[in-house]
Amino acid sequence: MFVRTATASTAAAAVLGAGALLLPAAQPQETSARTPDRQAGPLVVAHRGASGYAPENTLAAADAAKALGIDWVENDVHRTKDGVLVVLHDTGLKRTTDVEEVFPDRAPWAVKDFTAAEVAKLDAGSWFGARFAGARVPTLTQFVNRLERNRQKLLLEIKSPATYPGIERDILRVLGTAGWLDRSHVRDRLVIQSFGAASVKQVHALRPDVTTGFLGTPAVTDLPAYAAFTDQINPSYTTIGADYVAAVQRLKGPHGKRLRVNTWTVNDAANAAKVHAWGVDGIITNYPDVVRDATR
């Protein structure tokens, strides 16, 4: 879902050059993970951080979102060979790191085949731009600590859960240790989502208080079954329209609130305005400034 575009605002470029769920609120003075503020427009979520401006899923991308004034950051989580949770999109390390150079004999370079210490040696920034050389693949602990420092919020995606049996429990353990499962974080600052329905169900079973999201576009007739364990249906914008958004929002999720629709990955003003008109609750984007400006 990573696409670079020329639609980014010049103001954003200036800010980043100098300094470098879904989930809106019921009332204007509060931004909640479960209650939207229609007056303010859809919630804008920085996809893998502000990944149009910094290498995806790095601390720099979280900081870039912060520089743009974006509270919500989406990320992706995998597990290393020795059980450490790391923030990376692909199941492999090849696309966004220099793993081929550092470990040339380890193809296909799957995350699950490397230890955390080995992953920590990799450059996860040079592929995006020379000024990001030396950026590392963060652990989940490092990532949430940075969000905490930035006073940001997290939409966490469990990637390829079948590859990592028990990863839901591991994620909750790390989040708990980092202080992200207390009442304030669970209420307003955390959503866990996945394309795997079984994984979302498992999170809901382990921590019924945590807001969850299902990534995909279930048939309208199947939506009531999803509403039993997820608070959000988060589809690609290319698969939905106003009727689908309305069908989702007619249902209530496990917390007694209406289901949310947070769509991805919208990177231009025209499509942002279109999905806003459909009534989506949130928009996940590599260019959060562009989407914000188009929907306010």
Give, in order, the Cα–Cα distances in Å from 83 to each of 88, 94, 115, 195, 285.
15, 20, 8, 21, 30
Per annotation, catalytic residue among 47, 78, 204, 276: 47
Query: Whose CA is closest to 283, among 11, 52, 23?
Result: 23
Is 204 noted as a catalytic residue in this protein?
A: no
| The residue count for the chain | 296
Give, in order, the Cα–Cα distances in Å from 275 to each of 11, 24, 139, 236, 264.
24, 16, 33, 11, 10
Is 89 noted as a catalytic residue in this protein?
A: yes
Q: Rounded distance, CA 143 to CA 23, Å?
A: 20
Render 1-60 in DSSP notation, one character per residue: -----TTS-HHHHHHHHHH------SSTT---SS---GGG-SEEEETTTTTTTS-TTSHH
- Can you read off the two tokens belonging to residue 59? 């601390």
Distance of CA 293 to the CA centre of its chain: 20
Per annotation, catalytic residue among 78, 89, 185, 204: 89
Q: Rounded distance, CA 291 to CA 176, Å?
A: 32
Unique residue bearing structure tokens 């329905």: 197
Give, in order, the Cα–Cα distances in Å from 222 to each of 22, 91, 257, 260, 288.
20, 29, 18, 16, 31
CA atoms within 13 A on the CB side of 108: 5
Q: Rounded distance, CA 186 to CA 32, Å?
A: 10
- Can you read off the two tokens belonging to residue 151? 């006073």
Catalytic positions are 47, 89
